[in-house]
Amino acid sequence: MLDLLIRGATLLDGTGAPRFTGAVGVKDGLITEVGKVAGPAKQAVEAAGLALMPGIVDLHTHYDAQVTWDRTLSPSPALGVTTAVLGNCGFGIAPCPAPQRQTVLRNLSVVEGMDLAALEHGVNWEAETFADYLAQLRRIGPCANVAVLAQHSTIRSAVMGEEASTRAEPTSEELAAMQAQVREAMGAGAIGFASSFSPNHAGWSGRPMPSTIAKDEELFALLAPLKQAGRGIFVMATGPRGTTEYMEKVAAETGRPAFMVTVLTMFNDAEPGKAMTYYERCAAARSRGHEVYIHTSCQPLSFDFTLAEPYLFYSHQAFGRVKAAQPEQRAAIYRDPAFRARFRENLARPGQGILFYGDWGKIECEGRSIAMLAKQANRDPLDYFFDLPLDQPLIGKLFQNNDAGVAPLLKHEQGVVALSDAGAHLIYFCDAGFGLHFLQHWVRETGTFTLEEGVRRLTSDPAARYRIPGRGRIVPGAAADLLLFDPAKVGVSPLRRSPDLPGGGTRMLRDPAGVHGVWVNGVQVHDGRNYRPVRDRGPGRVLTGFCR
């Protein structure tokens, strides 16, 4: 007897092949039959008028902390995600010796916009090593499959302690210890290694995140275990330092795929042709036999910040003083006419790797742009901005905001649809529904992709790029990770605020539209409205076996 039978659905198998009407049978978490399926089943679903696709594969999440108190990985499974990759940008919580826990959580609270009180109340510390963390995830039993990257900044903090953010060069003993940590993580089942060179990645009190000050020799030493293992991917928040040529060198020396994450590859009205040059250079690297890809966001990219923690501006030289100061000292710097004058000069002559080019129409305060607010107050927008309270929530909407400019990037074969940042920046926004947004906007509303190709880009394509076997396709023998939806209604709701974080904190959430069911390894985890009850554990698996 089958465990699950879904009948009458329009099947989209994830490969891009033409859709067809049929049934899918599931037994012991695996797809056993596709097409004409006969026989009884413990659960039968009549899906006429609906479409069935593989579950969405989300390559860029930050659930490392949240999963220790929330096995549902909310809200991602509700939004169609059945596999999530953790540890992105080289930030996470393992390995982490007990004395470093507060430092790690404080850094996460700033660099990933997380509620510090929620982290302090919620994180269940059961592991100090990477292997123990994976074991903890297995005990938790998440509601989605998870794969975890070994993390440069986390490892640097574990080995170098408080000096990880201030000392660029480790001792030879420390470097050997960090390399051993990467090797151990790969041996335990890490999907690869993640790092960041982004000048915009700052942690507690404006200090740089540890990996951002590391030298090339350190990075390549930590990549050696991937080459030795002959498996694993490398993903980096590159910034201007990690050029496509740099990433090609990584791919060439390690023999492993390298993935870039940077706003420089995103469409920006200030430099409309710049992003595409990165994709073309990655294509040239691929023609030379070196796999270099780009994480491509299908949604307008937003940055949440305050003037107390203004990481959005850290790549401007004028903010050197700000980064060195304590948050409570920054108001005095902002009032200094010399600081404002220097920042104006920076905007007039923008350097490399900056996020903000001076368009105050793209910085919002309580839903209205600084440009509009300043005009209403008959003031200069820069002066208006720096006179705001330090704790005033602000949002920068700077990239991927022009459909005509974004569509060619999304369609480029060197891009992989990712960058949900799910689990992070919860105070201000929620992009965990990137896949449903893609199906709504880029498939149904704009027709940029056919439904078949849109599904492929969300499922088998990211799984193949990251060497994740058995996921992202509806074929016999594949894992039964499934999403049942109405193509005419699929999408995401507007943002809503929910006061459900540990310690009473609030977060922004989105709800699914047009979703009728989500299954992970053959077990339904969401019915389109609510999470299904789980007893001791969810059906998700900790993925550790990856293709070469």
Q: Which of 130, 62, 67 is nearest to 94 (CA)?
A: 130
Same domain, 350 and 404: no
- At 274-318, the pLDDT tens digits run 999 999 999 999 999 999 999 999 998 777 789 998 878 988 999
Same domain, 153 and 295: yes
Token pair belonging to 421? 């940042």
Q: Is 321 helix (H, G, I), strand (E, B) or coil?
A: helix
The number of distinct structural domains making up the chain is 2
How many whole angstroms separate alpha carbon 106 and alpha carbon 202? Answer: 11
How distant is the alpha carbon of residue 161 from its chain centre? Answer: 26
Same domain, 246 and 392: no
Go through the chain and tell me how many residues it has.
548
Q: Tokens 């399926």 belong to which residue?
A: 37
Same domain, 349 and 215: no
Asked whether residue 228 carries a pLDDT value surpassing 90, the answer given is yes
How many whole angstroms separate alpha carbon 51 and alpha carbon 192? Answer: 33
Q: Would residue 285 count as lying in a domain?
A: yes
Same domain, 368 and 265: no
Residue-level pLDDT at 239: 85
Using pLDDT thresholds of 50, 70 and 90, give the confidence band for residue 427. confident
Beta strands of 262-406 (E only): which ranges?
Answer: 292-296, 301-305, 363-365, 368-369, 394-399
Q: Tokens 């915009």 belong to which residue?
A: 200
Token pair belonging to 83? 């596999």
How many whole angstroms separate alpha carbon 228 and alpha carbon 220? Answer: 12
Contact partners, residue 57, CB within 8 Å, separation at least 6: 81, 82, 83, 458, 459, 462, 463, 466, 468, 471, 472
Q: Would residue 329 count as lying in a domain?
A: yes
Q: Tokens 């005095």 belong to which residue?
A: 332
Give the percent of the chain with pLDDT over 70. Answer: 100
Model pTM score: 0.90
- At 438-457, the pLDDT tens digits run 999 999 999 999 999 999 99
Residue-level pLDDT at 252: 98
Q: Is 411 helix (H, G, I), strand (E, B) or coil?
A: helix
Most confident among 70-84, 497-511, 524-538 (mean pLDDT): 70-84
Task: Measure the CA angle with vertex 324, ends 110 and 315; round to 5°.
Answer: 70
Using pLDDT thresholds of 50, 70 and 90, give the confidence band for residue 540. very high
Q: Would residue 13 count as lying in a domain?
A: no
Average pLDDT, the chain: 94
Taking residues 243-259, what's their average pLDDT?
97
For residue 493, give the amino acid letter. S
How many whole angstroms separate alpha carbon 352 and alpha carbon 507? Answer: 33
- At 162-193, the pLDDT tens digits run 999 999 999 999 999 999 999 999 999 999 99
Same domain, 382 and 409: no
Q: Would residue 217 count as lying in a domain?
A: yes
Residue-level pLDDT at 204: 85
Q: Is 338 helix (H, G, I), strand (E, B) or coil?
A: helix
Same domain, 416 and 372: no
How many whole angstroms separate alpha carbon 544 and alpha carbon 190? Answer: 6
Residue-level pLDDT at 300: 87
Asked whether residue 350 carries a pLDDT value surpassing 90, the answer given is no
Using pLDDT thresholds of 50, 70 and 90, give the confidence band for residue 151. very high
Q: Would residue 263 count as lying in a domain?
A: yes
Residue-level pLDDT at 59: 98
For residue 511, give the amino acid letter. D
Helix (H) or strand (E) holding 415: strand 415-417
Q: 91-108: buried (b, 16+ CB within 10 Å) or exposed (e) per residue? A: bbbbbbeeebbebbbbbb
Same domain, 359 and 425: no
Asked whether residue 510 carries a pLDDT value surpassing 80, the answer given is yes
Residue-level pLDDT at 231: 96
Contact partners, residue 232, CB within 8 Å, separation at least 6: 186, 190, 191, 192, 193, 225, 226, 256, 467, 546
Same domain, 138 and 234: yes
Q: Domain containing 211: what range?
A: 55-300+400-470
CB 157 within 8 A of CB 163: no
**DSSP type of residue 17:** P
Q: Is 387 helix (H, G, I), strand (E, B) or coil?
A: coil
Residue-level pLDDT at 302: 74
Using pLDDT thresholds of 50, 70 and 90, give the confidence band for residue 324. confident
Q: Would residue 538 count as lying in a domain?
A: no
Q: Domain ends where: 342, 375, 396?
A: 396
Taking residues 92-118, what's their average pLDDT?
93
Using pLDDT thresholds of 50, 70 and 90, give the confidence band for residue 323. confident
Q: Is 22 helix (H, G, I), strand (E, B) or coil?
A: strand
Token pair belonging to 198? 């982004």
Q: Which of 187, 192, 184 is nearest to 256 (CA)?
A: 192
- At 132-148, the pLDDT tens digits run 999 999 999 999 999 99
For residue 115, give the amino acid letter. D
Same domain, 222 and 348: no
Using pLDDT thresholds of 50, 70 and 90, give the confidence band for residue 512. very high
Asked whether residue 401 carries a pLDDT value surpassing 90, the answer given is no
CB 97 within 8 A of CB 124: no
- At 459-475, the pLDDT tens digits run 999 999 999 999 999 99
Taking residues 384-405, what's their average pLDDT?
92
Q: Tokens 């982490």 belong to which residue?
A: 96
Same domain, 264 and 333: no
Q: Domain ends where: 470, 489, 524?
A: 470
Q: Is 331 helix (H, G, I), strand (E, B) or coil?
A: helix
How many whole angstroms separate alpha carbon 396 and alpha carbon 415? Answer: 24
For 19, 57, 81, 230, 490, the CA distances from 436, given in Å and listed in that order, are 18, 12, 9, 34, 6
Same domain, 295 and 173: yes
First and final C-alpha spacing in the chain: 35
CATH number of the domain residue 462 falls in: 3.20.20.140
- At 46-57, the pLDDT tens digits run 999 999 999 999
Taking residues 95-120, what's their average pLDDT?
92
Residue-level pLDDT at 425: 83
Asked whether residue 407 carries a pLDDT value surpassing 80, the answer given is yes
Q: Domain ends where: 470, 485, 501?
A: 470
Residue-level pLDDT at 142: 98
Helix axes 274-287, 244-254, angle to 10 degrees: 20
Using pLDDT thresholds of 50, 70 and 90, give the confidence band for residue 481. very high
Helix (H) or strand (E) holding 27: strand 20-27
CB 436 within 8 A of CB 76: no
How many whole angstroms separate alpha carbon 377 and alpha carbon 371? Answer: 10
Query: In 190-243, which ranges are continuous DSSP H helix?
Result: 216-229
How many whole angstroms separate alpha carbon 133 and alpha carbon 122? Answer: 16
Contact partners, residue 168, CB within 8 Å, separation at least 6: 213, 214, 215
Q: Would residue 419 count as lying in a domain?
A: yes
Q: Would residue 518 count as lying in a domain?
A: no
